[in-house]
Amino acid sequence: EVVERLSAEGRTEQASHRKVHRPWGTYEILGGGEGFQVKRLTINPGAAISLQKHRHRSEHWVAVKGTAKVSIEDEEFTLSANESTYVSIGTTHRLENPGDGPLEIIEVEIGDYLGEDDVVRLKDNYDRA
């Protein structure tokens, strides 16, 4: 009954857990509302998300633990705890963890569609399409 109710309400919990495991670490959906979603990304030491872009959303990244290597278009820079950056819609981007411990990023996604199938992977260390 619970699964049927979640499905009828259009909730994502009926299809996937709040914390999702990826080859590079995990992301956890912390909350959201109309047109926005908040996630906690935990990127393992030496790991990276795919080089990607999105058609329907922008992203705001706030580093809360560790230091990130950030690539946005042709620019590369580091992002340390208590620093933030912005990724506009359609912009090529990647987060990497060059450190020895976990990297934690709070990601705020804003857009008219926030589904995971909006990820357009351009390069991926884990051979995902």
Residue type, 78: T
The burial class, CB within 10 Å (0-12 / 13-18 / 19+), for 103 is: buried
Average pLDDT value for residue range 101-124? 94
Average pLDDT value for residue range 109-127? 92
pLDDT band at 53 (very low <50, low <70, confident <90, very high): very high
pLDDT in tens, 62-86: 999 999 999 999 999 999 999 999 9
What is the C-alpha separation between 46 and 52, in angstroms, rounded?
Answer: 18
- State residue 13's pLDDT score: 63
Q: Is 47:69 a contact under the CB 8 Å cutoff? A: no
pLDDT band at 51 (very low <50, low <70, confident <90, very high): very high
pLDDT in tens, 5-49: 877 877 666 556 678 999 999 999 999 999 999 999 999 999 999
Q: Is 129:75 a contact under the CB 8 Å cutoff? A: no
pTM: 0.85
Q: Is 40:112 a contact under the CB 8 Å cutoff? A: no
